[in-house]
Structure 1
């Protein structure tokens, strides 16, 4: 870093240096010692990788976030999450602030605001709808990624997204519907759609994977469903989330019978297993609305993803291993499976007790002997 200190005609000291890009930065001081201290601080920050251009930090968060978003390379699903987080939550709340002026307390206040934000006011039909703890964390993570990028670009020295307290809600553990609830929702659906809950609950497919199925993906003889593509919320056919998502899912006879009965009454097209009344592929939005309406009629807290949780829970209850559930659901790793469903695996406490009893067996036998001797003496 090229730097120097020079005395000005007015008696003040001018300290200046050039950054890695060759831009000059300067400040004036009454005392030479203060000028030197300032230069030393800038040098130390550069050595530690904490230096940022003071002028760059004056950029508005909204402008930097838009530029950051435009160069991201991500899947359509991730891109949609980023866009929703920025457009609906982050930019309206923090977009008018300059990057260098956003403090940790501002980020914490933003998280608090997200936690209490009403997406839908309370009505006679139900309580107010607010963001779930998981949604709040997802939005915060997008903001944290933007701020981390600003640090890497030397727009700001330190990210304000540090040691932020995030909400922990009941959504940390998935809500698994009962068979009765699944059955009630199925009965509440129009007859044309009653096969879908059965297929979802019996295969564990994601909704996009189900809507992306073609008739040729179902092997009725071997009782399996081949998952090779997904239908996005934009109604476009796209590749799957990950390589692990591409799989062949074994299903039971109940699912096969439901599919056969559905196709007999509602013929599919070459490109879509499930079609609407006009013969067009069933869309994500239409199915989501159908499930929501049926759940209200059935009085059940069920969403489109609940059927997938039911399938996972059924496998775990039947003794399936983590790897089996991972492969069945198409998770990229066993970590994802455990993070979502670890609390459903039964018997951990009983196994712990058996292991400890086996380890402490000799002590237990000796204690029994002492009690027996005491009883005989008495």
Structure 2
């Protein structure tokens, strides 16, 4: 039998005190008592506890593990995932989740507490024992809370909690408004800001030389991810058929493995300028036991910072694709190779009259190796020709009305 009763007492200093006590039996038949300062909180607790006891999933505070313990169990179960993914999860736990919530028991973790945690991350409020905090971006907060949700799902499967408050919280939000707000904050990719213009790419191509020319031309005209470029083998380059087969990649730890998703394994047609450049490079490229097309001078896997800092950025400055730096010197306008991947996507999408390939969205998705058409359209949908400009509307009007 579960009940809520009021308890009154007098403190040693003679002060009148009162509290609300929840008195119930758990699923093992053991009596449990829990005290609250407000009757509303006691009523809410007993309503939830009774349902959990009937379902056999109730965990009293005294037997509940902490968030830190739960995240430790979860990380230990992630061994089958990629090393980079596990390291990202571990950083979320050690740098963000545990400093704020590590000592909190799972049974005491609530939706409002998670919302407060989000607010602290976003505002940069320091965790307990820290002198000052650091603001996290909205995208980072989303990833951190997502990792907390994964840890709670693991705890739920282990029978350590009755529900996943992160999942409940996200489910209760108006998803449509959240998506629109996130898109507004992130903004659309802009040509000349995130995506190099055709004129800028033409200038960059003209400035490329040495070992960086073949790999950066491949990034421009095949749209490979940096990891796919670093892991590309000669056996995956078919110069006669003018195509590249993406079958593997090199992660940030220089570990060779398959693409992250099944869609990442694909065949990409390449233009004559890239075919000729790769043919010339194949004759003088360093030998690699791994058969890599773009190895280091010793035949190993090229490091990403080298591609950017020694290849892409100097080429931009040499091509005049630059912005003033802090010291007044010219700096590269675009920070990384993903900007070239954005250009490749725009090149696939643009009208032929504008120098593009004018490919359908589904083909663009396949060329980029996206796992879904939604990802392609969410990222690049605004670049597709609208088909409703003035000239086309006028022609359609004449065809309809004569």
Scaled by the length of structure 1, what TM-score is found? 0.72
**Selected match of 1:339 from 378, 385, 389:** 378
CA deviation string 1:110-133 (max 9, x = no partner): 434444569xxxxxxxxxx97554
SS in 2 for 1:261: helix
Q: Distance in 1 between matches of 2:204 and 2:95?
A: 31
Pick closer, same or farther for the CA change 1:313–1:301 going to 2, 3 Å. same
Pick closer, same or farther for the CA change 1:204–1:55 going to 2, 3 Å. same
1:274 aligns with 2:270: no
SS in 2 for 1:194: helix
Output aligned runs, 1:117-136, within 5 Å.
Answer: 132-136=137-141
Q: Which has the higher contact order (CA 8 A, sep 6+)?
A: 1
**Selected match of 2:267 from 248, 252, 275:** 248
Output aligned runs, 1:1-378, within 5 Å.
Answer: 17-19=25-27, 22=28, 24-27=30-33, 42-47=49-54, 51-55=57-61, 58-72=64-78, 73-115=80-122, 132-152=137-157, 153-155=159-161, 157=163, 159-160=165-166, 162-163=169-170, 170-174=185-189, 175-182=194-201, 191-271=210-290, 272-290=292-310, 293-294=313-314, 298-317=331-350, 318-347=357-386, 349-350=388-389
Is the CA contact (8 Å cut-off) linking 1:132 and 1:171 kept in structure 2?
Answer: no
Is the CA contact (8 Å cut-off) linking 1:203 and 1:311 kept in structure 2?
Answer: yes
RMSD: 4.1
Is the CA contact (8 Å cut-off) linking 2:288 and 2:299 kept in structure 1?
Answer: yes
Is the CA contact (8 Å cut-off) linking 1:204 and 1:308 kept in structure 2?
Answer: yes
Pick closer, same or farther for the CA change 1:154–1:324 going to 2, 3 Å. same
Is the CA contact (8 Å cut-off) linking 1:137 and 1:167 kept in structure 2?
Answer: no
Q: How far 1:154 moved relative to its partner? A: 4.1
Q: Distance in 2 between matches of 1:14 and 1:245?
A: 55
Q: Distance in 1 between matches of 2:289 and 2:246?
A: 16
Q: Distance in 2 between matches of 1:248 and 1:348?
A: 29
Q: Which runs of 5+ in 2 are unaligned?
A: 4-20, 36-41, 126-133, 317-321, 323-329, 351-356
Pick closer, same or farther for the CA change 1:179–1:106 going to 2, 3 Å. farther
Is the CA contact (8 Å cut-off) linking 2:111 and 2:166 kept in structure 1?
Answer: yes
CA deviation string 1:48-70 (max 9, x = no partner): x6953023774322221111121
Q: Distance in 2 between matches of 1:66 and 1:247?
A: 37
Q: Distance in 1 between matches of 2:63 and 2:162?
A: 6
Q: Distance in 2 between matches of 1:117 and 1:299?
A: 31
Q: How far 1:104 moved relative to its partner? A: 3.5
Q: Distance in 2 between matches of 1:214 and 1:68?
A: 36
Larger Rg: 1
Is the CA contact (8 Å cut-off) linking 1:115 and 1:130 kept in structure 2?
Answer: yes
Is the CA contact (8 Å cut-off) linking 1:209 and 1:229 kept in structure 2?
Answer: yes
SS in 2 for 1:191: coil
Pick closer, same or farther for the CA change 1:27–1:278 going to 2, 3 Å. same
Is the CA contact (8 Å cut-off) linking 2:289 and 2:299 kept in structure 1?
Answer: no
Scaled by the length of structure 2, what TM-score is found? 0.68
The count of corresponding residues between Structure 1 and Structure 2 is 332
